[in-house]
Every structure is written in structure tokens, then in C-alpha cells.
Amino acid sequence: MENTELLTTVRNKAKGWLTDSYDAETRAQVEAMLEKEDTADLVDAFYKDLEFGTGGLRGVMGAGSNRMNIYTVGAATQGFSNYLRREFANMERIKVVIGHDCRNNSRRFAEISADVFSANGIKVYLFDDLRPTPEISYAIRKLGCQGGIILTASHNPKEYNGYKAYWDDGAQMIAPHDKDTIAEVNKIRSASDINFKGDKGLIEIIGKGVDAQYIEELRSISLSKEAVMRHHDMKIVYTPIHGTGVRLVPDALKAFGFTNIIHVAEQDVVSGDFPTVVSPNPEEPAALALAVEKAKETGAELVLATDPDGDRVGAAVKDDKGEWILLNGHQTALIFVYYLITRWKELGRVRGREYIVKTIVTTELIRAIAERNGVEVYDVYTGFKWIADIMRRNENKKQYIGGGEESYGFLCEDFVRDKDAVSACAILAEVSAWAKDQGLTMYGLLRKIYVEYGFSKETGVSVVKKGKSGAEEIEAMMKNYRNNPPVEIAGSKVSLIYDYAKLKGYSCQDKEALTLDMPTTSNVLQYITEDATKVSIRPSGTEPKIKFYCEVHQSVSGADEIPAAEKAASEKIEQIKRSLGIL
């Protein structure tokens, strides 16, 4: 579409937002965009409709069809309501839970959603204030609801907001419910299709009662109460990075028995402007900088951080030189799995029907730990809904121990069906106390795991390709890797090729075709070499990037060999980048 044609289409679409179906504030914003000589904002706001994807909505806030506002949120909720009413037509009263995070407009969007659901005859449990995402999942299951939503944009910049939709098992939707809900949302063409006239009699405010039940159930997953009692006063610095974790993480730590929680006062302030950080992302060292400084000042032993919606956890520990380092998502997941399986075995709970879940791009050391200890391993796609899907299929058949992904998400309990940084913080603190009983720091425990199961290093590389030409380039890169797979990577022969877009694999050694057992296709390629190097390649679903996940292994016979293994692994990863042409 030529620029003049696009601008004409955009202007006509924007004028459709000047009717009485839209409020005065929205009409004024649209009129201002129409009157501006610079049309960039207008085009961005209206050149497409904000897509309700398989996880819901996410976008910049403001007026327009491509922005997060009461009308795009209302349309999503109307479509979701229509689908719930269709799927549960025989139910006397359909019920949903609504939660929200700290972001600007999150409360407003939550209340608008409550109005739309209730206007459609759906009972709404609306949290009284911000709450972590995992508590929404918990409440859906606890209150016997058929669905739920949380207004959040996770760790995106402050300009963003979002909308996550959940099904009756407390998990984000997968097929067929995701696509069928999307179809219903896409039928909503204008504000006049949305029923905003809420029924206040169908909206019930919930809060502290659910908090207390959730915290009490979290206490049940503690595996080392005696160790916590012995080290209850260990100093733990915690930051919610201005988000929802402030409501429950300190309470969860106290419920586990920890008595010396040190707050980062500046970041306890709930704010959608995230005033102390550029990005409220616990993967970013800068987001934990204030917490690490507080740890240095107070002589703390562990730093914990959660993202704005309280589902992902970041951690910092002291290395063997006393310097603070951040654990990456693979290392945190590794520690979780090692601890949980070790303690389950010590407590006599491993009886042959237990399992853990990891994503296909998460460290393979998790598999080594599980299989050596008689625990089944499931590999799933990136996205916690796939871990929840395994849990749903195994319910009342097998025993879930834990599941996680490299992007800082972990779930230690089976009564929630999304990643949970509240329980993850409590368990990480417990791991630290348990390690102290053995004369180990958290860093020392990580090194012990490497000695027992081998050293691995994981590195992610994102190559940004912006715009239409960038999208075409990413598509061409995937096509080239698919049609011309590497014979070797960093000097090691490729032994296995997995193409998840076709659910086909190939053994280079046996010249044998393989079938991949996955619930659906995904545009991911994976290469495994003879020396156990794993390289995964996939386009990002939300950003103009192609992502490379590199994992290399080194054997070590003692902790003193780990520095050399680390150096060799880093060099190997640089070789991998050169092999794939991504330096």
C-alpha cells in the first residue's frame, strides 16, 4: 500500500473513532492526531488493529485501534465473554477472576473488563488492588472459575500495557480455546459491539482472604523447614522493582520462616513509571543494581528480584571471591531442579511417577539431573502455557515436581498453572539455607552441581532486523538454515537436526528420519552436535529479532577446573557465532 493510500485509510479509520460510541477524552486525542502535520502518531495508532494473539494483548497505551485503551481492552473482553458463554452454555453461572499489575491504567482496564464481563451475565471476582500473575492463576482454580485475565505487560517499558487471558485450569489458553477466542475477538469491529454497562451485582471484590489461602498453600511446598529454622535470620535483600511482588513476596518469605528481609525502599514504591530503572526486567543487571548495593551495605547473602507482574525471578549471589554476580535463567532453573529432586529423594517421595518439565531451549543439565535420579523429563516449547499443558494432561496420573524455562520463570507447586516468582523467591531462600547446612554458599552449590553433572554454559544472541525488509530477511535466514543445515558447528559434527515447524528430525549418523512428538508446530530449528553442543534458532514472536540459543558442555572433575571450563566454553560459543555467521 502506497503512503498516500495508507494515510487515506488511516484517516478514515480514525474518523470512525469520532462518533458518540467513543468517549470525549478519546475523541479529543484522535482529533489532535488528525490535526497534526506530522502523521507518524496517527499512522502508528491506526494502521492496524492491536492483535489479540494466543497470549492476549500487548501494546503501547493511547487512543487508536493499534493501542491499549478501554476500547481495545473492551473488545478483547467482549470477545472472550462471547466465547465463554458459548463454551459453557449449560452452566448456570460462568465465573472469572480479574487481576492487574502496577502499570498506568491497569486498574482502569481491570474495572472496564469487570463491567464488560458482568454486562454479559458473567460473575466477576475482581482483586481489590494489584496482585502477582500467579495468584490470578491460583484464584481461578480455587474459586472454580471458567477463565480469568490479568492486565499486565510483564517487563515491557512503561509505555506498554497488556492483557493475558486464562482458561478454567488456571493456565494461559492453548488450542482450540486460544484460536477460537481470537476468532470471537476479531468479530468485534467497533465500540458499539461492546457492552460496557456493567452489572455491579455480579462483581465481587476479593483480596486478603485469597492472599492468606495462597500463602498457606505455598507453605506446604517447603522441603527444608529445619534448615530454615537454623538460618532464619540470614539477610535477604528483596526488590519488587515497583511491581506486584511487594504485596506477597515478603509475606511468603516470612511464612517460610525467614525473619531478616531487607527492602529496597525506593523500589517498594508501586509505580507504573518505574522511576528507578530504565527497564523493570530482572534479567537486566541495571534493574538489580540498587538491590545489590543494598546487599553490599548490609552484608546480605542473597538478592531476589521480581518483575512487575511477579511471575519471573532474578537472583544475585556472591562468587568465591566475594563479588556479587547475577544468576542467569538456566542456572536458576538448574538450582531449582537439583534442590527439588535431591530433597524429594531424601524425603522418600520419588517413587517412579514423578516428572519435571523444561523448555527445548533450556539447559540439558536439567535432563541429566532428572534422569540420573529416576525422574521423567518433558521438553516443551517456550512459553509457560506448554508446561501447564503437561501438568493438565498428567493430573491425577503422575506427580509434578517442578518446571521452568530459561527466561527466568519457574513453578514449584502444582496448584498454580503459570510461572510463580512468589514461590520461587521462597524456595530460592530455602535453598540458600539448605546449602548453608552443608557449608556451601549458593555459588558453591552451583559449582557442586557442575562437578556432579558436568559444566554447561548457555548464551543467547538476538539479531535485530527491523521493518518489513527485516522481517523478510529473518524469513530468508530461517529458510536458509532449514534448507542448508550446517554439517558442523564450531568444529563438531552435527549429529541431530530437529525442525519443529515440520515436526521432523534427522539423525546424521544413522541417516534416519525422526518424528517429533509435540502438540503443534513451531518455527524453531535445533542442531545437536557430537560433543553435545545445542543450538536453537527461532524468530521472536513479539519483536523484530531472530534468536539464537547456544549451549556448550565441558567435563570437570573438581571445582578447581571450572574456571578453565568457563573459559573454554566462552571460546566455543564465539566459534559457534562465527560458524552461524552471527558475529
Q: Which residues are catalytic?
A: 154
Determine the Cα–Cα distance for residues 582 and 460; give it in Å rounded to an integer.
11
Please give the grid coordinates belonging to residue 448.
Answer: 557442586
Compute φ and ψ for 49, nearest 5 degrees.
-90, 140
**Residue 76 to residue 52: CA distance in whole angstroms:** 7
**Residues near 533 by beta carbon (within 8 Å), at least 6 away in sequence:** 489, 490, 492, 550, 551, 552, 553, 572, 576
* Three-class SS state of 254: helix
Starting at the edge strand found earlier in the chain, the sheet holding 160-167 runs 56-60, 160-167, 147-151, 95-100, 123-127, 203-206
* Pairwise CA distance, residues 188 & 72, whole Å: 10
Angstrom distances, CA of residue 462 to CA of 75, 163, 328: 33, 25, 16
For 317, the enclosing helix (H) or strand (E) is strand 313-318
How many other C-beta atoms are found inside a 10 Å radius of the C-beta of residue 81? 24
Preceding omega of 176 cis (within 30 degrees of 0): yes
Find the helix packing angle between 329-346 and 421-437, rounded to 10°: 60
**122, 119, 126: which is closest to 92 by C-alpha?**
122
Nearest 10 degrees: CA dihedral of 381, 384, 390, 393? -130
Beta strands 545-554 and 534-539 are antiparallel
CA dihedral for 158, 164, 169, 173, sign (positive or negative): negative
Q: In 3-state terms, what secondary structure has residue 402? A: strand
Please work out, in degrees rounded to the nearest 5, the angle formed at the alpha carbon of residue 63 by the alpha carbons of 62 and 67. 60
Q: Which amino acid is at 4?
A: T
Residue from 214, 211, 260, 209 nearest 238 by CA: 260
